[in-house]
Structure 1
Amino acid sequence: MRTYSLQEEQANRRRELSYIDDYPDIERFHRHPFRRYLDRLNADYLVKRKTALKGVKDKEAALAYRQQVRDAFRAAVGPLPEDAGGNAFLKGTLDQGSYWIDKVCMETAPGLFATANFYYPKQRNGPLPALLLFCGHANEGKAYGSYVAFCVEAVMNGFCVLTFDPIGQGERRVPLAEGSSGEKWMEAVAAHCFLDEKLSLLGEHLGAYMMRDNIAALTYLLSRPEVDAARVGVTGNSGGGTMSAYIGAYDDRIKAVAPCCYITELRSLLYRIMAQDAEQCLPGFMALGLDHSDLVTAAAPKPYLISAAMFDFFPIDGVRDAFIESKKLYRLLEAEEQLDLSVVMKGHGFWHDMREQVLRFFCRVFEVEFATEKSIDYERLPAEAELLCVGAGDATEDALLSKVKERLLALPAQRRNLELQTVREQLKELLQLPADNELPSVPLAFDEKGDFAFESEEGMPITGSIHRFTDGRDVVRVCLAIGGMSGQGLEQARETGYDAVLAIHPRGTGPAAMEPACTFGMFEPEKASGYNARMLGRSLQGMRALDALTAISGLKRTPSFEQAEVTLYGQDEHALTALYAAVLSSDCHGLLAAGLLESFRAFAEAEAHRFESGIVVPGLLLAFDIPDLLQVLQPEAVLVERWLDPMRNPVHEGTSKR
């Protein structure tokens, strides 16, 4: 159990301030071609939404804009899991002298339970104002020191407080696969991404499940007889700030909102540290024109406090711009005095002075006198073991994993009688690809070394090289190696009768990969760029498939290659890119996969995997799986040298077709 202390605050502050030392490297990282491409898309998005905001000049337009962003945000969240109907069970009560802590299990969706603590004073005259505290990405969830400290501070000031373990945290942690470095549980962020990958293949995402949790928690809070439903606020830090802003924009039962260390300008955040946790990157969020400030606007005219830290990795310049945008809308809605900003001179964290500013805000809004002296012994806050609702190690997120497996069992084991054209149309939509007539059709130009470059999209250069086995006459057979080919592979290609091998590296892979340091230790570039693409209404796998398709299109327009038979080659992750391109391109005559994932069904069922996250295609399993896609290709044109399970272990020994 981590309790609040001055020493911890000082240590955390030094750690958070250290991120500033890394910032001189930012511009170097932005020289990377894929990063530059994302920068352009992010800048285009920002200019478009700011241009739209310029047209909001009066109250009528502001009201229309607020409704627009509310609708867009609900569209980004999408359909929620089924409501469990408000079932909740009291598991015990802690007597803390002047206040109680009820230990509660809330059923948020059928079969899914959130473990929660409800803090409330013993002495009260009638219903009290209440706060819903959302947890950030602390593994301890509701038992994390600064969250417990805030609950106690608030209850000592006359509030009731409900806080609960988010999915993947506290008593809902996700177990690691056996033999995983001796650890028992996944880290919170890793758990969120892991679960989101599985849900994504089934056309869902973790953010919708977390929103269902939020709504269920609010419903339970309002059901308590100690609570005044007219005085209910939400707050939280970091990931908890995200959820505070989300539900503040989503649910009108909330009367005041105070997200901490979250609200900033999205493009500024993406430029600094790239995209973050799964539920913070809702599908199509940017494509719908939304930014963090819109979450504030959607809550207007509710009292709203944006709480920020000067030295946060959530950029302070973005906080300023988000506040200015929100302030304009609040002013047009004649509620300017209801929106405020507070900034602490620290790094990322739910600091004591930040918590005090938040509590003063709620006291002012709900007409409660702020108690300056609370006589709290921070070294004796309730410990994690005391706050457990079920029992140490008993409550895990196996329930959500079980739901995923149930969904998988409901899918057909194999799709039969698939038609190529129908599959192409579905696959193109799933990969979020442009129409065929929008593909570049520029011939490839080789230099004297055999290197070449082309743009698969405006501003997205892809590099490659050619290995010729003939003297320059018209090429009959060519192998397009997605992700490159080893020296041994090149020799085999020559012996097999290919006239040439062209190797390309799709964006963000191999020599074209971003440096791991470009996110300043916050996230893997693969996940970060994938989440950026997801918010833009794209998919990273789709972008890479587009790189392959453009290479084929260019090759077929290159002198001496126009009539060549093109076989696509790919290994591991690249085998999937090659498979998609083989299905989609009418100019592809064959597929050679050296290490192909056995199925996405196995991937979704697995307790762990060793594939890059970019292979996940939202909704793919609802339409077909890898074996289904192979069905629509000519059997004689497909050779799978090796099948892999999700851990990259060989599934079938030897060479096999299909």
Structure 2
Amino acid sequence: MPATPSTARGWRRDGVSITELCWQTRFGPPTRAWLVLPSPRPAGAMPGILALHCHAGVKSVGAERLITTATPVAERLRHDCYGGSALTERLARAGFAVLAHDAFSWGSRRFLLTPEPWRLRTTMAALRAAGQEPGYDTAAALHEPTVAKFAGVLGTTYAGAVAHDDLTALDVLAGLPYVDRVGVVGFSGGGGRAAVLTALDPRVRASAIACMMSTVDELYPAYLDAHSWLFATPCLAHGRDWPDVAFARGEHHQLVLYAADDALFPPDGMARADTVLRERFAGAAGTYEGITVPGPHRFDGPTQDQAIRFLTGALST
């Protein structure tokens, strides 16, 4: 059964309307999401964008980091990761219907951790004994391997559970009566989710990935601990690599933004991924654009401008 969203509240600001939504998936607590539209919304059909939030080691909030809110943690993440820009609102002002949702284990979909699982309880007690008072995000980081174990027991993966939520959100976006074509955009961990979602669902016509691309040979093992279980999907390297996931069917338009000084990805791996993607898309029905920008791991205003330009062209008709 498709998820049926309900409206929690709505408001307008600076040329956009924002509606907070909620829906129930097949497991866990309800999902919180935000639908951001141009205000007033243009008549007729329009393109939709599913905006996928990053990991950033912060799970107490999810997609709220992509909205202008007064929540201190979300505000800090917007400043540190997105250059202070609210990505969803910028996309809406560019003419898109934008949906951003909390992914599995973030924000509204997070674990209560009460009572604390055995291994987490032991570690948290040791931190407290050392004079620290660890918050939820510390606990969530320590808890992620437990989630990955349990996902394996259930016959899936941590990334698979996240993909379930992303596919559900894509259904919600594509089901809006005024949305006739869809794309996805994601930064860092959200970029990995964008690649996976594009590979899983042919409705995705355009995909923008920021600061999340490398070949596995260069990435592992040296960079393995720089990333979460979301990026370490079992058997990924058995006949398939991250550029293969991003290529998917080769029928979509793909943008990858690489940061030259990205501490989370090896330069050789990024360069090789760019080469592989150019080769794979050559002669394919879809297109590929790879851009390397100077500076560190981030998705700030100027890099968002490049993604918006790409998505506008790719979803123009």
User: In which range does the TM-score fall when normalised by the shorter chain?
Assistant: 0.7 to 0.9
Pair 1:191–1:242, CA change in 2 (3 A): farther
Deviation of 1:274 after TM superposition, in Å, equals 2.3
Which residue identity is paired with 1:155?
Answer: A
The letter for the 2-side match of 1:134 is L
C-alpha distance in 2, partners of 1:214/1:320?
Answer: 28
Match of 1:502 in 2: none
CA distance in structure 2 between the partners assigned to 1:349 and 1:97 by the alignment: 24
Contact 1:309 1:345 in 2 (8 A): yes
Q: Deviations over 1:306-359 (max 9, x none)?
A: 111111121232122112112112114265xx1111122111122221111111
**Helix, strand or coil: the match of 1:255?**
strand
The 5 A counterparts of 1:184-583 are 184-187=135-138, 189-227=141-179, 229-230=180-181, 232-274=182-224, 276-287=227-238, 289-312=239-262, 313-333=264-284, 335=286, 338-367=287-316
Cross-structure match for 1:122 = 39
The alpha carbon displacement at 1:199 in A equals 2.5
Deviation at 1:363, TM superposition (A): 1.2
Give secondary structure in 1 for the equivalent of 2:24.
Answer: strand
**Unmatched segments (≥5 aa) in structure 2:** 66-77
Confirm or deny that 1:134 pairs with 2:55. no
Question: TM-score normalized by structure 1?
Answer: 0.40
1:498 is aligned to: none
- Alignment match, 1:99: 16
Per-residue CA shift, 1:603-639, capped at 9, x if unaligned?
xxxxxxxxxxxxxxxxxxxxxxxxxxxxxxxxxxxxx
> Does the 8 A contact of 1:175 with 1:184 survive in 2?
no
Is 1:173–1:186's contact at 8 Å kept on the other side of the alignment? no
CA distance in 1, matches of 2:28, 2:232: 26
Residue 96 of structure 1 deviates from its aligned partner by 1.8
TM-score normalised per structure 2: 0.81
**2:220 partner SS:** helix
Deviation at 1:305, TM superposition (A): 0.4
5 Å-filtered alignment, 1:135-150, equals 135-138=53-56, 139=58, 140-144=61-65, 145=78, 146=82, 149-150=86-87
Q: 1:319 and 1:299, CA in 2 relative to 1: closer, same or farther beyond 3 A? A: farther
Name the CA distance, whole Å, in 1 between partners of 2:307 and 2:249: 17
Cα distance in 2 for residues equivalent to 1:107 and 1:314? 35
Residue 225 of structure 1 aligns to a residue whose secondary structure is coil
Tell me the amino acid that sits aligned with residue 325 of structure 1. V
CA drift of 1:271 comes to 4.5
Shift of 1:111: 4.8
Question: Once the 2 structures are TM-superposed, how far is the Cα of residue 189 of structure 1 from its aligned partner?
Answer: 4.1
Q: Provide the rounded CA distance (Å) in 1 between the counterparts of 2:134 and 2:178.
A: 41
Q: Deviations 1:117-136 (Å, cap 9, x if unpaired)?
A: 11001221212211111111
Letter of the structure 2 residue corresponding to residue 156 of structure 1: R
Q: Distance in 2 between matches of 1:332 and 1:190?
A: 45
1:297, distance to aligned residue in structure 2 (A): 2.1
- The one-letter amino acid paired with 2:306 is Q
In structure 2, C-alpha distance between the alignment counterparts of 1:355 and 1:295, rounded to whole Å: 22
Q: CA deviation at 1:198?
A: 2.3
Shift of 1:89: 1.6
1:158 paired residue among 91, 95, 115: 95
CA 196–152 in structure 1, closer or farther in 2 if over 3 Å, else same: same
Q: Is the 8 A contact 2:205 2:253 kept in 1?
A: yes
RMSD: 2.2
For residue 93 of structure 1, what is the amino acid of its counterpart?
Answer: G
3-state SS, counterpart of residue 43 of structure 2: coil
Deviations 1:397-426 (A, max 9, x none): xxxxxxxxxxxxxxxxxxxxxxxxxxxxxx
- Contact kept, 8 Å, 2:29 with 2:109, in 1: the verdict is no
Ranked by relative contact order (alpha carbons within 8 Å, sequence separation 6 or more), the top structure is 2
Report the alpha carbon displacement of residue 168 of structure 1 after superposing the two structures with TM: 2.4
Deviation at 1:241, TM superposition (A): 0.4
Distance 2:153 2:28 in 1: 21
Question: Offset of 1:159 from its aligned partner?
Answer: 1.1
1:259 aligned partner, one-letter code: I
In 1, Cα distance between the equivalents of 2:85 and 2:144?
22
1:318 aligns to what SS in structure 2? Answer: helix
Q: Secondary structure at the match of 1:109?
A: coil
Give the counterpart letter for 1:321 in structure 2. Answer: R
Q: CA deviation at 1:166?
A: 1.7
Matches of 1:98 and 1:297 in 2, distance apart? 35
Whether contact under 8 Å (1:344, 1:353) holds in the other structure is no
Local SS of the residue matching 2:151: helix
Give the AA of the match of 2:255: L
- d(CA) in 2 for partners of 1:259, 1:303: 11
The one-letter amino acid of 1:238's match is S
Instruction: Say which SS state the counterpart of residue 20 (structure 2) adopts.
Output: strand
In structure 2, what is the Cα distance between the partners aligned to 1:334 and 1:101? 35
Quick one: distance in 2 between partners of 1:141 and 1:87?
A: 20
User: What do the CA deviations read for 1:487-524 (whole angstroms, capped 9, x no partner)?
Assistant: xxxxxxxxxxxxxxxxxxxxxxxxxxxxxxxxxxxxxx
Contact 2:85 2:301 in 1 (8 A): no
Structure 1 residues 565-587: Cα deviation after superposition (integer angstroms, max 9, x where no partner): xxxxxxxxxxxxxxxxxxxxxxx
Q: Is the 8 A contact 1:174 1:185 kept in 2?
A: no
Amino acid at match of 1:257: S
Matches of 1:344 and 1:218, distance apart in 2:
29
Does structure 2 conserve the Cα–Cα contact (< 8 Å) formed by 1:239 and 1:280? yes
How far 1:86 moved relative to its partner? 1.9
Runs of 5+ consecutive residues of structure 1 not aligned to the other structure: 1-83, 369-658
Q: Rate the CA distance shift 1:166–1:251 in 2: closer, same or farther, 3 A.
A: same
Equivalent pairs: percent with the same residue?
24
The answer to whether the 8 Å contact 1:297/1:329 transfers is yes
